[in-house]
Amino acid sequence: MANQEDVFKKVISHAKEYGYVFQSSEIYDGLSAVYDYGQNGVELKNNIREYWWRAMTQLHDDIVGIDAAIFMHPTTWKASGHVDAFNDPLIDNKDSKKRYRADVLVEDHVAKIEAKIDKEVAKAAKRFGEAFDKEQFLATNARVKGYQEKATAILKRLGQSLEKEDLADVKTLIEELGIVCPVSGSKNWTDVKQFNLMFGTQLGATAESAMELYLRPETAQGIFVNFLNVQKTGRMKIPFGIAQTGKAFRNEIVARQFIFRMREFEQMEMQYFIKPGTQKEWYEAWKEKRMNWHLSLGMGEENYRFHDHEKLAHYADAACDIEFKFPFGFRELEGIHSRTDFDLGSHEKYSGKKLQYFDPEENKSYVPYVLETSIGLDRMFLAVFSNSLREEALENNTTRTVLQLPAVLAPTKAAVLPLLKRDGLPEIAEKLVNDLKWDMNVAYDEKDAVGRRYRRQDAVGTPFCITVDHQTLEDETVTIRHRDSMEQQRVKMDKVKGIITDAVAMKAWLKKI
Ligand code: GAP
């Protein structure tokens, strides 16, 4: 079996080769952690966004959408806590001049200890064969227990030091663990310093009149500052939600996992405004709703799990992630946060404007509590893309590369292929394309042998190929080849649109939520 690193490399090269994701400004050697979406990537991204948008706004009569600007008044970020608290602890190696996130250096060290545990387990499994009981081994083997205790103690100390903002102790921990710079191999570290992740810019023409702005690091604040506008103009009654998708920017220090962690990325966020005291039940309800949205795409229940936050952000009274099994392991895909009245309360304080709701049932006004769901669109793209890419061994001893995207998200739904470039077959195929293109993205391909054309469509993720052959001339039938099973069915040409629409229509998939 290919190792994780090879699988991930394959994902990245496939994304480039088939027009999904390119490095930004590649002809100038690229820009680190910034990416462009190609001709197929933009379609997949649009489809994921639409699938989220429709699930949120169309299927919930109490959720509406907005599109707030990226630039916001700078006080927004003071009120939200980002100016003071949106920091990463950084450390530089004096010899290599490389900069690292101090917490990531420690976590990578712990990952090495955990890898030793995995090695011991693999060795024991081999030694004991079928009789091997992993749980018992983990609980009783002295060496493994020693590793586990060490890993837990390190993470606990790191958590406590970060919580207390004791950056000197984070440096001491790095020194005590003997962590070396991966580039220079030296332990010659600077002190640990906090580094704010927001990108600054200026609004205005002259230096004197210019206003210092930030590029928004999350879309959520555009929703909070519009809470009353939407509530009043939409005559919304609590509980209700506001959804938004859009770009966010973070000056990430450790940005090395392709589109998993980017400096410019897109978020899909929904803030659900609720009565204070009801946050626990809404937290549970939204955890379930969001998990069901993910599962409706059929990417395997075993690839998702919840992870509760131990260290809560300054605004939250409960928070968890939905983690997905990426090629490099389980990582955060989406966050679900119970944000209390922190944001609206803080904007009230900083703006001097009341951000309250008059509850007719309670006959009083209050600052609503907020339940947030927040997912990275690019991260969802990576989850879908990496999960779909397969190398399949075929019966004839060949392999095929197939991108088994959920059909509802595939950039192109069908490719129409005339078997030969003559005998009137291309004309019939073009007619079929012209008929289908009003309902879906459809491709036409007449180059190379049909087998090679099937492989090309498999690799790009097209769920259906429709082949026009000589029998079509006789009885107006074509074959529909299914990407995943490679099975072919012969159907009347006038049935094609219905068959494909049933399989790819967003409505049918949304109904599974
Ligand atoms: N409004 C809450 C918020 O922004 P977050 O956990 O910082 O919470 C939410 O981000 C989601 O945004 C994450 O679960 C992830 O999917 C995505 N995300 C965050 N930083 C990202 C980055 N640098 N690149 C790509 N996606 C990112």
Predicted confidence (pLDDT) per residue in 234-290, tens digit? 999 999 999 999 999 999 987 778 999 999 999 999 999 999 999 999 999 999 999
Phi first, then psi: give them for residue 334, nearest 5 degrees.
Answer: -145, 150
Mean pLDDT across 100-122: 92
504 lines ligand 1 (CB under 6 A): no
How far is it, in rounded angstroms, from Cα 498 to Cα 12?
Answer: 35
Please tell me the residue having the least CA distance from ligand 1 atom 12.
376
Q: Where are the domains of the chain?
A: 1-73+214-286+318-389, 394-510
What's the pLDDT tens digit per position in 33-63? 999 999 999 999 999 999 999 999 999 999 9
* pLDDT on residue 1: 46
Please tell me the residue having the least CA distance from ligand 1 atom 16.
376
Please tell me whether residue 464 adopts helix, strand or coil conformation.
strand
Please tell me the residue having the least CA distance from ligand 1 atom 26.
376
Mean pLDDT across 140-162: 93
Taking the centre of ligand 1 as the mean of its atom positions, its distance from the CA of residue 307, in whole angstroms, is 15
Asked whether the predicted pLDDT for residue 464 surpasses 80, the reply is yes
The two structure tokens encoding residue 438: 């009003």
* pLDDT on residue 78: 96
Q: Which CATH class is domain 394-510?
A: alpha beta
262 lines ligand 1 (CB under 6 A): yes
User: Mutation test of ligand 1: which of 244, 267, 331 has the most ligand atoms closer than 8 Å to its C-beta?
Assistant: 267
Taking the centre of ligand 1 as the mean of its atom positions, its distance from the CA of residue 217, in whole angstroms, is 9
If residue 21 lies in a helix (H) or strand (E), which one and from where to where? strand 21-23
Show the 3-state SS of 283-333.
HHHHHHHHHHHHHCCCCCHHHEEEEECCCCCCCCCEEEEEEEEECCEEEEE
Please tell me the residue having the least CA distance from ligand 1 atom 6.
335
Asked whether the predicted pLDDT for residue 165 surpasses 90, the reply is no
325 lines ligand 1 (CB under 6 A): no
Q: Are strands 477-482 and 211-214 parallel, antiparallel or unpaired?
A: unpaired
Asked whether the predicted pLDDT for residue 208 surpasses 70, the reply is yes
The two structure tokens encoding residue 489: 């069915």
The mean pLDDT of the chain is: 95
Mean pLDDT across 463-482: 98
Q: With bands split at pLDDT 50, 70 and 90, how would you rate the model's confidence at 2?
A: low
Taking the centre of ligand 1 as the mean of its atom positions, its distance from the CA of residue 261, in whole angstroms, is 8
* pLDDT on residue 164: 87
What's the pLDDT tens digit per position in 485-508? 999 999 999 999 999 999 999 999
Q: With bands split at pLDDT 50, 70 and 90, how would you rate the model's confidence at 303?
A: very high
Asked whether the predicted pLDDT for residue 22 surpasses 60, the reply is yes
* pLDDT on residue 20: 98
What's the pLDDT tens digit per position in 360-411? 999 999 999 999 999 999 999 999 999 999 999 988 889 999 999 999 999 9
What's the pLDDT tens digit per position in 312-343? 877 889 999 999 999 999 999 999 999 999 99
Using the atom order of ligand 1, give the atom closest to the CA of residue 255: 23
Residue pair 370/341 in contact (Cβ under 8 Å)? The answer is yes
Whole-model pTM: value is: 0.90
* pLDDT on residue 405: 98
Taking the centre of ligand 1 as the mean of its atom positions, its distance from the CA of residue 266, in whole angstroms, is 9
* CATH code linked to domain 1-73+214-286+318-389: 3.30.930.10
333 lines ligand 1 (CB under 6 A): yes
Asked whether the predicted pLDDT for residue 305 surpasses 60, the reply is yes
Asked whether the predicted pLDDT for residue 455 surpasses 50, the reply is yes
* pLDDT on residue 313: 79
319 lines ligand 1 (CB under 6 A): no
Q: Of 267 and 212, which is predicted with more confidence?
A: 267
> What does DSSP assign to residue 367?
P
What's the pLDDT tens digit per position in 84-100? 989 999 999 999 999 99
User: Mutation test of ligand 1: which of 339, 379, 380 has the most ligand atoms closer than 8 Å to its C-beta?
Assistant: 379
Q: Whose structure tokens read 């018992």? A: 136
User: Mutation test of ligand 1: which of 265, 338, 381 has the most ligand atoms closer than 8 Å to its C-beta?
Assistant: 265
